[in-house]
Amino acid sequence: MIYDIVIIGAGASGMAAALSARSGINRPRILLLERHSRVGKKLLATGNGRCNLSNLQAGMLDHYHGSHALAQPSLAACPPDKIRAFFTSLGLETVADSEGRLYPAGDQAAGVVDVLRLSLQEWGIEVLTGFEVCGLEPSFRIAARDGRTVQGRRVILCAGGPSGEKHGGTRDGHKLLAGLGHRITPLYPALCQLKTEPEAVRALKGIKYRGSITLLENGKAVQRETGEIQFCDYGLTGIAAMALCRACAQGLAKGRDMRARLEICPASHEALMDLRDRIPGRLLEDFLTGLVSKRLGQRLLFHAGIAPLSRRADSLSEAELRRLATLLSGWTLKLTGTQPLAAAQVTAGGAAAEDFDPMTLQSRLLPGLFGAGEVLDVDGDCGGFNLHWAWASGIRAGECAAASMG
């Protein structure tokens, strides 16, 4: 049997592609292939199980990285309102939080996967799970590792990237494209933890605060984020720190000196002098307790070279207070790496944009082959932007693949 459209990968972009292709006037016969035993495995882990579907600002290009030229047409064609309408048509309501992040009304990723799965069944889209693709021929004959084959007239590749390996991440999509002559840009982890020299942070494991963090490349500020930052035994985590991962990984790969400057508390030298004069008899071990957590305050005093902590506050010299103020407003840590790509939430890099028509997401090298989602060289900021790209590019590829059937 020859299918009109075969979609490789039943994640967010793959399911969106299948549903959008089926909803067109041509109503092609569609087969959705998934290597796992069920659809949407990686989707279940998003947003800490809540599934941050999109963002009200998701149509703005400055929230995306990689190829803006490839991303722009799909984002313009599928703004947040269209994505919300897409899910409403499937029976899923969405709600926005105060920062514009869109979630399912039921606040559960499982509900999103269930709605998509039910819609695939109701719309007559065939789904074949446990089909691990190992070969894709220019004739669109698709082979599985267990020897099975299927044939399509059109193929949409939605196999994702290698990030989040334990949740289903894979390099298979990039390998398939490379085998067909597509160029693959270097792959980097995005949205994952930063590694520092462990001695600097190990004693702070588990402590978190809300502040700003700036990425320095060879001493120059290249990115600044504000939000939650948490110390772990090997470095820094939290939304704000993880947002720097992409640029940090790329800089380190180029041999650049990468550092993180932590803006923990905007306490000036004068403010610390005033604090000292107000609590002259307080021991140094508790001197900063009213500004930051006790353990963090003690560690900052240590890094400022202020000891012993059994001293009284009124023993602090102006030089010591200046060093302490500098650390509070800009404690700089050398970055030695990031968590590996397999542990990242998102893959940065992917199939080179020049090999795809940005208006249709069709391959320029092999007409009839389309790409969508994380396999392409587009990734977004934290906050629903990556899933928005998955939906938008999947819908666009599905619509254009169906339209190309004539």
Phi-psi region of 170 (alpha: psi -120 to 50; beta: other; left: phi over 0): beta
The whole-angstrom separation of Cα 303 and Cα 312 is 18
Q: Which two tokens stand for residue 38?
A: 């069920």
Domains of the chain: 2-188+345-403 (3.50.50.60), 193-265 (no CATH), 269-331 (1.10.8)
| pLDDT, tens digit only, all 406 positions of the chain | 899 999 999 999 999 999 999 987 778 999 999 999 999 998 988 877 899 999 999 999 999 999 999 999 999 999 999 999 999 999 999 999 999 999 999 999 999 999 999 999 999 999 999 999 999 999 999 999 999 999 999 999 999 999 988 778 899 999 999 999 999 999 999 999 999 999 999 999 999 999 999 999 999 999 999 999 999 999 999 999 999 999 999 999 999 999 999 999 988 999 999 999 999 999 999 999 999 999 999 999 999 999 999 999 999 999 999 999 999 999 999 999 999 999 999 999 999 999 999 999 999 999 999 999 999 999 999 999 999 999 999 999 999 999 998 7
CA dist list (Å): 390 to 253, 254, 327, 385: 27, 29, 41, 9
- Statement: the pTM of the whole predicted model exceeds 0.85: yes
Q: Whose structure tokens read 């080179």?
A: 352
Q: Which two tokens stand for residue 63?
A: 């929230």
